[in-house]
Amino acid sequence: MIERKDVAPERRWRTEDLFASQEDWARSYKEVESKLDFSEFEGKLGDPEMLLACLKKSNDLSVELNRLGIYAFLKHDEDTRDAKYTALMSRMDALEMKLSGNTAFMLPELTALPEKKLKAFIGDERFKDYDYTLKGILRQKPHVLSKETEAVLSQGARVFDSPRQIFTMIDNADFPFPTVKADGKPQKLSHGTYGLMLRLPDRRVRRKAFEAYYDAYIGLIHTISATYIASVDKDVFLTRARKYDSCLSRALESEDVDPKVYRNLLDAVHGGLPLLHRYYTVRKKMLGLKTMHMYDAYVSPVKDAEIKVDYEEAFRIVKKGLAPLGERYGELLQEAHDNGWIDVEETVGKRSGAYSISACGCPHPYVLLNYQPCTSDVFTIAHELGHAMHSYHSQKAQPVEKADYRIFVAEVASTVNEVLLLKHLLNTATDKSLRQYLLSYYLDMLKGTLFRQTQFAEFEFLAHEKAERGEPLTSDNLCEIYLDLNRRYYGKAVVSDPRIAYEWARIPHFYRSFYVYKYATGITSAVSIAERIFSGEEGALEDYFRFLSSGGSDSPVELLKLAGVDLTRRDAFDRCMKSFEEALRQFEELNA
């Protein structure tokens, strides 16, 4: 693994677009810190002029805080070992906590206003930038507490986020990455190279990597379990404090999502599990295995069909695959490549995985990669740039108050990109082996994003449900829950090795409770949208860009309807499952 100083400048994101130096950051921090007093508005939000002024000041500060926070976040993730950037993150936490405390009066004060007055504000043209926010206040009225209680809870924001921060440090800065032998040479695993090794044809290497990687987590299981249990306990506390029926209902209410969507997802996936089992039976036969283990689940069953290209070629492939989205979209992709949006290389101490981050006040989105020459990382480029383009269009089209889209729709644009790229590759592939591989990859994408993320969602649902009943969570019963689910989802064709019971312990998204199911609803929506665009259906592209530009201007379920997807019905879920079944049929025919 290389050091950051050895990475070419064109492969690094440009944090200097935010602040030229840490000294500039510190000066801006001091300026923002001097503006945090909102006492002039307290007790006066029933007056429309005062409310408008308060909301505007809040938004203006948010823009400045976004720049400060994202700079600290990016610098920290460049090297999680660097204490000075960890200190910047802590300073941002303190600043945001102070602002949160100073504005804690707003929600209970607005909630206390008569419904008639709130509706009058919503109907007032001067409040058009804030109408959806005010509608949300009406919706949350039963769950907002007294001014004093809200002020106390706001001071707990940093404490409530501690489990996530602790896990991040365990999983990155302090994780004891093991060494395994591959190609006759010892190689130290990273989170990125572990995934790569599971795709190697040498089964002994896959098994050794699997065992060594999970043994490292087993060695930390009591610490990680205590961290995750603290996260669940926090969720239960906040759910009860705010008088919700369950942690799930609190999570869905926060995003204005109908619980019917969650039920539709679970029902559709449970009904489709026989298709997943059928897929693994085919893979097992193709791999020539008498017994298929978890470390065999990611290797390609088609020999020499992996797309192994360097980053520049991977980017060219992605750009061509996304051509159906239009010329301007392609120009923006190139701008991202050329102008410091993307941090490409895996380096010592760098945060693992991939993400895109942006907010009003930033010059452009930022994308973190840890690129490895494999097909999944080619798709990761398309995926993260989908996030970036969604942010770009929403922030360009919407006012600050409505620019940020909900997490619920955050994975839609990214997954549309993946589906379009896959369809492009399938359409241009003439070699049977490559077509086999791409169909397998598409099936794996649906398996990983639809089935696997629903498995994760079901795990955290069961863990929270258990805690809500007052039953203690332990490392043992968390592993039991996960192993039982794994057996149900993978079926009899795959051996659920004992070590896989610990897989839950390495999933960072569990520290953002009830986040992962959105990957599954995202791909469900994306398959429907991509099919319309790829087929050239009239109006499909225009519908999609209306969705991309809609930000958080309405309920995410309603915004998806702009692109022709209604998740309160079973239709979209059934279409996605039929897409899986059709790809499986083609895959079986090629391998008959």
Distances 516 to 408, 413, 451 between C-alpha atoms, Å: 10, 16, 11
Can you count the helices (H) and strands (E) in the chain? 26, 7
- 476 against 429, higher pLDDT: 476
- Which residues form the catalytic set? 384
Neighbours of 167 (CB within 10 A): 22
Residue range 528-551, pLDDT digits in tens: 999 889 989 999 999 999 999 999
Residue 183 confidence (pLDDT): 85
Distance of CA 227 to the CA centre of its chain: 20
Residue 12 confidence (pLDDT): 97
Residue 470 zone, left/alpha/beta (φ > 0; ψ -120 to 50; rest)? left
Residue 15 confidence (pLDDT): 97
Mean pLDDT of 537-566: 96
Residue 186 identity: P
Mean pLDDT of 27-53: 97
Residue 490 confidence (pLDDT): 96
Residue range 93-136, pLDDT digits in tens: 999 999 999 999 998 899 999 999 999 999 999 999 999 999 99
Mean pLDDT of 45-61: 96
Pure H helices in 220-341: 221-241, 247-254, 259-286, 311-321, 327-338
CATH level 2 (architecture), domain 16-160: Up-down Bundle (1.20)
Give the residue from 296, 280, 306, 580 showing the smallest Cα distance to 443: 580
Residue 263 confidence (pLDDT): 87
Which H or E run includes 376? helix 375-397
Which residues make up the CATH 1.10.287.830 domain(s) of the chain? 176-219
Pure H helices in 79-202: 83-102, 106-112, 115-123, 131-140, 147-155, 157-160, 162-171, 191-197
Whether 304 shows a pLDDT value over 70: the answer reads no
Q: CB of 407 within 8 A of CB of 518?
A: yes
Average pLDDT over the chain reads 94
Whether 13 shows a pLDDT value over 90: the answer reads yes
Whether 463 shows a pLDDT value over 80: the answer reads yes
Residue 396 confidence (pLDDT): 95
- What does the alpha-carbon distance between residue 293 and residue 208 come to, in Å, rounded to a whole number? 12
Q: CB of 550 within 8 A of CB of 562?
A: yes
Give residues with Cβ within 8 angstroms of 486, minimum separation 6: 455, 496, 500, 501, 503
Q: Domain spanning 176-219: which superfamily?
A: putative peptidase helix hairpin domain like (1.10.287.830)
Whether 305 shows a pLDDT value over 80: the answer reads no
Largest distance between two CA atoms of the chain: 75
Neighbours of 410 (CB within 10 A): 20
Bridge partners (DSSP) listed for residue 402: none
Residue range 350-408, pLDDT digits in tens: 999 999 999 998 999 999 999 999 888 999 999 999 999 999 999 999 999 999 999 88
Task: Choose the weakest-confidence range: 327-331, 428-432, 465-469.
Answer: 428-432
Mean pLDDT of 32-46: 97
pTM > 0.85: yes or no: no
Mean pLDDT of 320-343: 97
Residue range 220-236, pLDDT digits in tens: 999 999 999 999 999 99
Q: CB of 404 within 8 A of CB of 359?
A: yes
Q: What is the DSSP letter of 532?
A: H
